[in-house]
Amino acid sequence: MLLKRGDRSEEVKAVQEKLKQLNFYAGGVDGIFGQNTDRAVRSFQASRGLLVDGVVGPQTNAALRKATGQKTAPSSPLKAPRGQNSVPPTHDSISACSHAAWSRYKSFKDCLLGSNNTGEHVFYGPGRGLFEQDKWVVSYGPGKLGRKTWAVKGGKTGPSLHCSSLTNLFLGYLLNYNDKWTHQGNMPDQMKMCLQDDGLHPLPQNKKIKYRGYGDNCMRLASNGDTAERWGIGGKFMHNRLDALEVWERRKELATFNIWAQSTKKGRSSKMKWDHHVGLFIYDHAEDRMWRLAADGYRGSGGAYSATPVQYREIDAAWSKQDAENKFYQIMRIIPDDEHGNFGLGSESLPMEVEE
């Protein structure tokens, strides 16, 4: 059965309930397929890479069943401090992490930045996150440990990551991929990677090299239309793009951990540099605070890396308003494995360090 705008039925009510559970729909569960339900359906379709037509057919129904079956909402908000385990620090969102996952994130951040967040531990460069001998290691150079020198402005080198190496490392580390993790630097588009399953997939540009995706734990956050209206840009691709102002205004719909792909306006022209940079937004539902973590930097025409320290900063409404003047994002929410907000169930959580 196909459900579309104008329909009234118990089947529509069931769709509304699923969309509400997944935080796409905030209206009444009344069985009336109106404007709000249509918008929620389109947002959900965009989040799962489906045809965005507002019609609930077999594919959309199957995606709704899978999403609500895998990810059920936590039953109660946190009323205790962060030091306890297993209870999600949030309202009734499907996207909040447990205390154990939050502690694991802090270990990741401290490894990259130091416990005082100075950002002098890991730099923008050719290094990778590696998984070797039952631990995660940020290397100096690509592929293996021991590559201690690389072309850099100013001559200073150290353990390094480029932007997608950081986000790929974070996902593998958080989800405990461990031995099955793939660290190739020449990865596919990060957003596509977030929609692939954890089986082995060939790189489009070199089919001998395989990578694993994170699709079982990723869900796209679709735009509500505000960004396209502000920017005056139409087209179906804007269903998946939000400027920082929309992200900030809808921050409670974020997961604790969110991967972004950034598009940037080139100067005063209308041209865009599409999806050229990736990083993380971290949102603490309990404290209503948000941070940006990324390996910002560049590789010059001569091949030398900038060696910019990994960047970490708290963001707020003022930052979001300014950032929205020339950037917008695709957002992938990282969804926990269970109703308690845990990640990487069934695998051991192993430590991470930087190469000495």
The model's pLDDT over 170-180, given as tens digits with 9 standing for 90+, comes to 999 999 999 99
**Is 93 contained in some domain?**
no
Q: Could you tell me if 207 and 232 lie in one domain?
A: no
The answer to whether position 79 is within a domain reads no
User: Does 180 reside within a domain?
Assistant: yes
Q: Are residues 198 and 227 in the same domain?
A: no
Verify that 252 and 184 share a domain, yes or no.
no
Residue 36 corresponds to which tokens in the numbers above? 């709000």
Phi, psi of 354 (to 5 degrees): -100, 150
Helix (H) or strand (E) holding 172: helix 163-174
Q: What is the pLDDT of residues 271-303, one digit of tens each?
A: 899 999 999 999 998 899 999 999 999 998 888
* Residue 94 falls inside a structural domain: no
| Alpha-carbon span 221 to 329, nearest angstrom | 10
The predicted structure's pLDDT at residue 77:
29
Same domain, 107 and 200: yes
Total domains, the chain = 3
Same domain, 51 and 157: no
pLDDT in tens, 29-53: 999 998 888 888 988 887 777 888 8
Q: Say whether both 347 and 243 belong to one domain.
A: no
In a domain, 86, yes or no: no
10-21 vs 35-47: helix crossing angle, rounded to 10: 50
> Could you tell me the pLDDT band of residue 185, with boundaries at 50, 70 and 90?
low
Q: Would you say residue 91 lies in a domain? A: no
pLDDT band at 78 (very low <50, low <70, confident <90, very high): very low
Distance CA 251, CA 145 (A): 39
Whether the CB-CB separation of 44 and 219 falls below 8 Å is answered with no
End-to-end CA distance of the chain: 60
Q: What integer pLDDT is reported at residue 131 of this predicted model?
A: 94
Tell me the C-alpha distance between 247 and 224, whole Å. Answer: 10
User: Does 265 share its domain with 296?
Assistant: yes
Q: Which helix (H) or strand (E) holds 327?
A: strand 327-334
Would the pLDDT of 118 be above 90?
A: no
Residues near 247 by beta carbon (within 8 Å), at least 6 away in sequence: 254, 281, 320, 329, 331
Cβ of 156: how many Cβ atoms within 10 Å? 9
Interatomic CA distance for residues 105 and 97, integer angstroms? 10
Q: Domain range holding 113?
A: 99-215+341-354
Question: Where is the domain boundary, 70, 89, 116?
Answer: 70
